[in-house]
Structure 1
Amino acid sequence: MQHPYTTLIDQLANTIDKKRIITDPTLTLAYGTDASFYRLVPKIILQLDSLDEVVTALKACYALTIPVTFRAAGTSLSGQALSDSVLITLTNNWRNYKISDDAQQITLQPGIIGAEANKLLAPHGRKIGPDPASINTCKIGGIAANNASGMCCGTAQNSYQTLAGMTVVLADGTVLNTLDEASRQAFQQSHAELLNDLAELADACKNTPELADKIRHKYRLKNTTGYSLNSLTDYCDPIDILQHLFIGSEGTLGFIADITYNTVIDHAHKASGLYVFKDIETTCRAVSELSKTTAAAVELMDSRALASVADEPGMPDFIAQLGQEGNTEAAALLIEIHAENDDDLKGQDAAISTLISLFEPMHQVAFSTDTTTCAQLWGIRKGLFPAVGAVRETGTTVIIEDVAFPIEQLAPAVRELQELFTRYHYHEAIIFGHALAGNLHFVFTQAFDSQEEIQRYSDFMDAVAQLVAVDYQGSLKAEHGTGRNMAPYVELEWGQEGFALMQRIKQIFDVTGILNPGVIINDDHQAHVKDLKAMPAADTLIDKCIECGFCEPVCPSRNLSLTPRQRNTVFREISRLRRTEEDPTRLAEMEKAFQYQGVDTCAATGLCADRCPVGINTGDLMRKLRQQHSPMAKSIARWTAEHFSTVTKATKLSLGAVNGVHSVIGTKGMKALSKTAHKLSGEKLPLWNEHMPRSAGSMKAPTIFTIGKEKVVYFPSCASRNMGTEKNAADPRPLAEVTISLLEKAGYEVVLPQKLDNLCCGMPYKSKGFADTANDKAQELEQSLWQISEQGKLPVLMDTSPCASLSKETMRQGITILEPFKFVADFVLPKLTITPQEEPVMLHITCTSRRNGLAGVMQKVTEACAKEVIIPEDILCCGFAGDKGFTTPELNASALAPLKPQVPENCNEGYSNSRTCEIGLSAHSGIEYRSILYLVDKVSHAANASAENANTATSNR
């Protein structure tokens, strides 16, 4: 008899692309990872592309009684997005949205990231209500399914309270759109029994005053423990009850295919202030009074939390002084106020400042509207989690728990919680949270590598549950969701009657129990200490990773192979298997898969480090793994570095030859020939496309017209020295020629380094793992630039952003190095007259420019040159990654998949600051991309030329 999973795969393969039915053990491990401290490995991962595919998959699983779990971004902390059966994830096609005419509502598919939804609403002065701390990563599906809230939304603006309607898929595959009357009527006929059961539950609740009062009390606080029982007391219509039960249901009742939110005001006027009080009691009394005001957010930080960030850059001096003064009792409040206008903001500032003064703060940063000051203040709060994560021992994980107490009892509750930390030896634990809602997070480190450690954690959680749920009648999960972590304690918090109600809800929706079993409802009282995730040492570059997934939205390979989180997960397992030698066959298979999925397809951009709470750059690990070269490969690399001018000449000859063949056999023939050669070479020969550059030819030395002009040093990258324009370029001049022309137009004398063809920043060698050779080339370039710049007196323009970025990292002498946009902004635009063109242009902000904080400069320069500038969404890196666009073109294609649909019909040109990136951008956009220097040159003339032209015109009349 065929195994049910085999039957399922056979059935689904008839309608779902087999590439999206994943059973490879390496990928199921990688894709099955989430941010929690649990590990389950799915047997099958389904990457579903449409609502029809979800219905098909659910019907098949329902018929075969196969458990299934839904996954959005996988940032969940409580183990609710894991499966050892079927895990359903979504492709990039679940990103549609619709904004109502007045922006009072927005309909969102589950694949849209929360911050993206707010970006869509920003022009209307609106936003969605939920504002979780992970909003830059977590997706709408997860936000709704977990009823995730955040710093400002409290209990009034979460998904439950701002829900207008949704489309859901039940366990049997039935689709219900609660905003569509025809769908509602059809559902009322097909599922009358389900709706009647819900109506009866609601009536029973309303007719049981003690239970109804308990429900109302529980949801006066933030509460995501169990199902949203408040739907039974808040609503009478069974469909309203149904859709509100889906909020916070964590995929245990069905699938949320879209959700319509009632949007809320995004106030333009905001101010933040920080206030430190002598002890937790004073701090909490201030919170109680602040809860009666218009304060939008009040974040509490206990003394340990403040101490954890005291030494971080940018912290106010008094934070460090608290520890030096021996003050271990102090606590702080970070307060934010919002208003519709400046006068209202000033009024709030005055009123709340007066109130705070009554509690005699020891130190303070008064309310400020300065964006830099506000960012620094919120940096304190956002730095708390990384502070604990950065100092944890290798092999441990960081656990973030999430509770809520009645505000009036906040002070004694915090004291008792701190006592539990001491009793169970969690001396590094810190407390912070959204104090207005009585919502506190506590962060601590935990190892699960021994039974003693597991027992310590279990005993601690038992004590926490008793303190929160029983002693203070609070919420064990305020906003992180029940998951596996708190499922064993749901009955403790809600009592037998409330828990029985939840069991009945689960049974009504999921008769066969296939939807995310073990989550929310779990009869195993030890479930929270089973299937724990091991975090063994792998490499110091990634050992701090807690697999939170914050890195994933910016990774160019996220839709092709693995993300940084997934690379780290797989490499940890490879490292473990190497140490234990327990399964050589599995190790060999995993190493083989990881070479392509992990190492070869990593763009190594470093964008992941910017999103990582503890600054991990997984690209550094991939480059390290690429260093495992044979002696022959190292010798070849060394030879090419020492004979770089020879390599340059050979490259130009090759480009010229390829262009010649193209001219003879045409574009179609050239594509076919290139595809065959690429395949036969084992994908080592570059894959050609019609936007490939011609040879740049020989560089012409700049002409010096005037002695005594200001000088600038120009270092043309090897890419621009070798690669000219594409065959049908709008401007056929090589980049170096355009750059020199523009600089001379701006009145500069251009100075080129000597022995130019021998020089390279080292990037080609670094990206391939030849670190020593890369360093040697970097030092050689630095010595040359130091001399030609007159020991750093002259600015240096590098015409490619990756080269400029790497050189700034590696060079130790005081040389001012600028990429094109920054150079144009600082040195060129002030000396030119610009006439912005009417035609729209696309702008690509390279990953190195993003990391160096140049996105705003790039936009400003481009907008000075063109009246309409389009920066495409969802493209943070083009994925060309040096030469990977040639050798691994699928990485470039995947990263730029969203580009072409965003190019307007009347747009024919795009601009950036990296020659290789521009090749890939051209290939996948349908328009020509080139350096911004071409655009500046096109729309500018010398500042004094306008006066001369005017005089000439007058004399000719």
Structure 2
Amino acid sequence: MSLPVTFLDAVARLIPKDRRFDDPLSTLAFGTDASFYRLIPQLVIRVESEDEVVDLLKLAQHDQVPVTFRAAGTSLSGQAISDSVLIVLGDNWNGREIRGQGTQIRLQPGVIGAQANAWLAPFGRKIGPDPASINACKIGGIVANNASGMCCGTAQNTYHTLAGIRLVLADGTRLDTEDAASVSAFRQQHATLLERLATLGRETRANAQLAAKIRHKYRLKNTTGLSLNALVDFDEPLDILSHLLVGSEGTLGFISAVTYDTVIDHPHKASALIVFRDVETCCNAVTVLKTQPVAAVELLDRRSMRSVQDKPGMPAFVQHLSENACALLIESRAASSSLLHEQLALIMASLAHFPVEQQVDFTEDPLENARLWAIRKDTFPAVGAVRKTGTTVIIEDVTFPVEQLAIGVNRLIELFDKHHYSEAILFGHALEGNLHFVFTQGFNSAEEVARYQAFMDDVAQLVAVEFGGSLKAEHGTGRNMAPFVELEWGSEAYQLMWQLKRLLDPNGILNPDVVLSEDPQIHLKNLKPLPAADEIVDKCIECGFCEPVCPSKGLTLSPRQRIVIWRDIQAKKHAGIDTTKLEAAYHYQGIDTCAATGLCAQRCPVGINTGDLVKKLRSQEADRTKSAEWLAAHFATALQGARFTLHVANGARMLLGAPRLAKLSAALTKLSKGHVPQWNNAMPQPEKAIRFSPAVSDERPRVVYLAACVSRVMGPSPGDNEQTSLYEKTRGLLEKAGYQVVIPDNQDSLCCGQPFASKGYAEQAEHKRQELLGALLHASRGGLDPIYCDTSPCTLRLVQDLGQTRLDLYDPVRFIRTHLMDRLDFTPQEAAIAVHVTCSTQHLGESQALIDLARRCSKNVVIPEGIHCCGFAGDKGFTTPELNAHSLRSLKDAVQYCSEGISTSRTCEIGLSQHGGIDYHGLVYLVDRVTQAKAL
């Protein structure tokens, strides 16, 4: 059914056009969350304020238009999709207020969970929920799903650590439980609603059998249905209302802020992996550990360990475990090292009488801990990575009473075999009896859907009826378990949930068919296809973990959305449907505005680099091969041309003035569709060609200095306080540290190939790379001397796939920390500096080292939040400047008190300087300023 014209007209007056999306590409892109369902919204609205939410709800109420709220869209059960109106959070939902030395924190729903913990870390605190998706999911979703996690249990979830909430009901009424005026007004306006909640609470508590059932159900981890425990835990109706919103999945109201009582984040941690001979022994050990000082106990069955046994860093014994082996990954945390060791002794003593097949003893080494936890964290993506193309990965989430865990595990394994899910694996939060099982499922035939239906019917009967457990422990009911809520809870509790739904959302406009549905087949409808599109991205499970680091998210598409649209284009083509319009829209949104830096791969559970797909698509369009070949063969001439262009631009600036040139340049860039680069105030002056030969008889240690082509062409901008070129500054620092600087022969002809690769000319790119590697091999005397490259993206490209080539290549961060620290004395400056960690620095594994170096140089270091990639992406800052501007839209406020910024890429620094309002320089400028040569 189409949306009413009156509603659409009213929304158009309320929300600017650039935050309303109804085109086929955008609605399809937003029609996907991390679940295996898909609904295409008719309208997507990006909201930036609570006032907008209030007004939209009033409009939706008036015209009976269903709405669904979305934060990050990492939900697994279909709770963040809609075929009506999807309301997504924009930029302005990231507020926080830290109280009482971190004992409380008030957060808006757009804050990513990991960011909240980063703010609390200096106080030794964290929020209680710790979902596996914490680096991507947002507070709104964490609260709305009552998410928990590995260490959270039931005591530290949102429901039990809630100190206050700000919400908007379906009729647009606001309530802030921490604001006396808001509470007073709400009591007056909604006296009837509050009285009804109070009555329902009294009736529920007076119903001894129902109250006992509710208390029993929430002794376990449980997110099936609405939070009925609010009716037995509280008698004050405002408390009942507040806690009903937790876990309501957007079906009872909009959560615009939440206050948490935080929990202690102990600094001392140790982990162990203990493998038992069978499930029974393993689960009996869990029962013992329940009384021990453990923070987390994760169970992994033999199949789950087999799924990761070949991964690097896995203990060798994992490959040779017996068929019925079952493991526990145990973590203990404490405030001090001595207390931790006491706890470890207690834990091991409690397990002494259990026969053990293999074990990795408790270790406090962070690297070893990370390897152990990788076993647990890599199980889900491991299944995703080997699944048959066209199938999806489904992760289910049940709870057995912990005393019956062993029987439950074995019965689930029997169901895997009965329904022929041979690849299914099982793991989970053993202390809570909470098990996740992962399997692959196709929905391309009626037979496959029927197999899934029969399996889920059996699972529901086993868990909910036979064991009295929870069908959804922490992933939320969604559409996935909505038909089974009554089976789990019984008719009386189920009808109580419907009473609450109709009391708070009488017209049923909030997220219909989620949590509660009158359609017993809703879990089998709107199943999401995952057609083959390209082998680079076919393993994508559309989880959304990649999105927080993508510079184009919110401007055009995120990596997840790029894959969604490309899959749809390929499926339509296969079906003979005309995709001309969709491909035209995708060209800008999917290809032109992708930075292709590969940060998405670092966050992707199955390691997909969406940028590789984009580069492949660019290469298919690359039709200027002869021009690329000419440039590769005449690179020095090309650099001269680039210097001349900068001369012309600088002359135009002096002739026309900066404001007029900026305006003219922007118009030309737009008219030429990005072919004419856009000028800005941070545009560099041309750099002179390098002419330098070291003394042949010099006995100092040698370092080969590779100045990247951008460093050789681009000098400081006219308004920069630093007018020394990067080359001169780097050479001076290296010589100060006692090095003889060697320059490769014919340097102006050399290039790592990155400019060619980014434009889709892979063959020319590799030719230039090999040519450069040969020159470096010669200059370094066969790899004897270290090679310093002054630009991290070039370093990254060179060090990849070196094979047998023996070159000791360094980016600025690694060279300074490994070769210069012992040769220089540092005197940190008082002035604040901003640090931008480039994408390539992250790929090189030098992020923390750069920050540590900056802190060695300055007493006040600022790392802007939420900026993972600057979006300049080689030359995108010139040709697609809106990508750079969007990525750095929050930079100026973040660095306003800094004297300068530092980075390790000259092109990135252009965009950072323009949008940050301060000069950004290479790291060497800062290091040179604060150091003196050590007396050796």
Relative to the length of structure 2, the TM-score reads 0.99
Matched residue, 1:115: 114
Q: State how 1:396-545 maps to structure 2 within 5 Å.
A: 396-545=391-540
Amino acid at match of 2:872: F
Which is worse superposed, 781-790 or 2-11? 2-11
Identify the range of structure 1 (14-23 vs 409-418) with the bigger mean alpha-carbon deviation: 14-23
Cα deviation, residue 162, structure 1: 0.4
User: 5 Å matches for 1:423-822?
Assistant: 423-582=418-577, 584=578, 587-629=579-621, 631=623, 633-704=624-695, 707-812=698-803, 813-822=805-814
Task: Name the aligned partner's letter for residue 601 of structure 2.
Answer: A
Q: Secondary structure at the match of 1:334?
A: strand
* CA distance, structure 1, for counterparts of residue 694 and residue 780 of structure 2: 18
- Residues 700, 737 of structure 1: 8 Å contact kept: no
Alignment of 1:132-147 (within 5 A): 132-147=131-146
Contact in 2 for aligned 1:845/1:855 (Cα 8 Å): yes
Q: Once the 2 structures are TM-superposed, how far is the Cα of residue 207 of structure 1 from its aligned partner?
A: 1.2
Could you tell me which amino acid in structure 1 is paired with residue 459 of structure 2? V
1:78 paired to 2:77: yes
Which amino acid counterpart does residue 267 of structure 1 have in structure 2? Answer: H
Find the aligned partners of 2:66 and 2:187 in 1 and give their Cα distance.
26
For 2:259 and 2:280, locate their aligned partners in 1 and report how far apart those are by CA, in whole Å.
Answer: 41
User: Alpha-carbon deviation of 1:702?
Assistant: 4.5
Q: Match of 2:763, SS?
A: helix
For residue 693 of structure 1, give the secondary structure of its aligned residue in structure 2. coil
Moved more, 179-188 or 705-714: 705-714
Deviation at 1:135? Answer: 0.5
Question: Which range moved further: 306-315 or 495-504?
Answer: 306-315
Moved more, 875-884 or 266-275: 266-275
Output aligned runs, 1:6-155, within 5 Å: 6-155=5-154
| Secondary structure of 2:716's aligned partner | strand
Alpha-carbon distance in structure 2 between the residues aligned to 1:874 and 1:314: 30
Asked if the contact 2:533/2:571 (under 8 Å) is kept, the reply is yes
Amino acid at match of 1:617: N
Does structure 2 conserve the Cα–Cα contact (< 8 Å) formed by 1:202 and 1:232? Answer: yes
* Rounded Cα–Cα distance in structure 1 between residues aligned with 2:813 and 2:205: 65
Counterpart mapping for 1:201-350 below 5 A: 201-322=200-321, 327-350=322-345
Query: Aligned-pair distance for 1:183?
Result: 1.0
SS state at 1:577 partner: helix
Deviation at 1:9, TM superposition (A): 2.3
Give the drift of 1:811: 3.3
Counterpart code for 1:96: G
Is the contact between residue 779 and residue 811 of structure 1 (CA under 8 Å) also seen in structure 2?
no
Equivalent residue for 1:834, pick from 826, 829, 840: 826
2:923 counterpart residue number: 932
8 A Cα contact 2:161 2:261, kept in partner: yes
Provide the aligned length of Structure 1 versus Structure 2: 935
**Contact (CA 8 Å) 1:9, 1:21: kept in 2 or not?**
no
Q: How does 1:903-918 map to 2 (within 5 A)?
A: 903-905=895-897, 907-918=898-909
**Bigger mean CA offset, 868-877 vs 548-557:** 868-877
CA distance in 2, matches of 1:811, 1:269: 39
1:64-121 deviations in Å (ceiling 9; x for gaps): 0000000010000000111000000011110001011332211000000001111111
Partner of 2:875: 883
Contact 2:32 2:81 (8 Å CA) reproduced: yes
Listed one character per residue, the Cα deviations across residues 21-41 of structure 1 (whole Å, up to 9, x for unaligned) are 110110111022100000100
Equivalent residue for 1:948? none
2:358 corresponds in structure 1 to 363
Matched residue type, 1:681:
S
Distance (whole Å) between structure 1 residues aligned to residue 777 and residue 421 of structure 2? 53
Give, in whole Å, the separation in 2 of the partners of 1:414 and 1:641.
Answer: 61
Residues of 1 paired with 2:696 and 2:165: CA distance? 70
- Deviation sequence 1:410-430 (CA, Å, 0-9, x none): 111111110000000000101
Is 1:855 the counterpart of 2:847 in the alignment? yes
- The residue type equivalent to 2:701 in the other structure is E
Q: Does 1:920 align with 2:915?
A: no
| Cα distance in 2 between the residues matched to 1:580 and 1:823 | 54
Q: Offset of 1:867 from its aligned partner? A: 2.2
Secondary structure at the counterpart of residue 725 of structure 1: coil
Secondary structure, in 3 states, of the residue corresponding to 2:869? coil
Cα distance in 2 for partners of 1:4, 1:608 equals 35
Q: TM-score, normalised by structure 1?
A: 0.96
Q: Distance in 1 between matches of 2:343 and 2:475?
A: 31
Q: Give SS of 1:597's match.
A: helix
Q: Distance in 1 between matches of 2:19 and 2:762?
A: 37
Distance 2:864 2:52 in 1: 29
Please state how far the C-alpha of 1:3 moved relative to its aligned partner. 6.3
One-letter amino acid matched to 2:873: A
SS in structure 2 of the partner of residue 147 of structure 1: coil
What residue ranges of structure 2 are gaps of 5+ in the alignment? none
1:899 aligns with 2:891: yes
Aligned to 1:954: none
The question of whether the paired residues in 2 share the 8 Å contact of 1:778 and 1:810 is answered with no
Structure 1 position 630, deviation (Å): 5.3
Distance 2:693 2:833 in 1: 29
Structure 2 counterpart of 1:652, which letter? R
Distance 2:680 2:594 in 1: 22
Higher mean C-alpha deviation, range 473-482 or range 805-814: 805-814
Distance 1:701 1:929 in 2: 26
SS at match of 1:783: helix
Cα deviation, residue 705, structure 1: 8.8
Q: Distance in 1 between matches of 2:759 and 2:728?
A: 30
- 1:458 maps to amino acid: Q
How far apart are 1:6 and its partner, in Å? 3.0
2:368 match = 373
Shift of 1:181: 1.5
What corresponds to 1:165 in structure 2? 164
Could you list the runs of 5+ residues in structure 1 that have no partner in the other structure? 946-957
- 8 A contact 1:72–1:110 mirrored in 2: yes
1:846-886 CA distance string (max 9 Å, x none):
01111221012111222222222211111111110000000
Q: Which letter does structure 2 place at the counterpart of 1:770?
A: Y
Q: Is the 8 A contact 1:487 1:521 kept in 2?
A: yes
CA shift at 1:706, angstroms?
5.8
- Deviation digits for residues 328-386 of structure 1 (CA, Å, limit 9, x no counterpart): 11100001111122222111111110111111211111212111111111111001111
- Identity fraction in percent: 54
Deviation of residue 522 (structure 1)?
0.6
How far did 1:810 drift?
A: 4.2
Q: Give the letter for the 2:274 counterpart.
A: Y
Aligned to 2:198: 199
User: What is the distance in 1 between the residues matched to 2:361 and 2:2?
Assistant: 66
Q: Is the 8 A contact 2:290 2:431 kept in 1?
A: yes
Instruction: Look up the equivalent residue of 2:6 and give its one-letter code.
Output: T
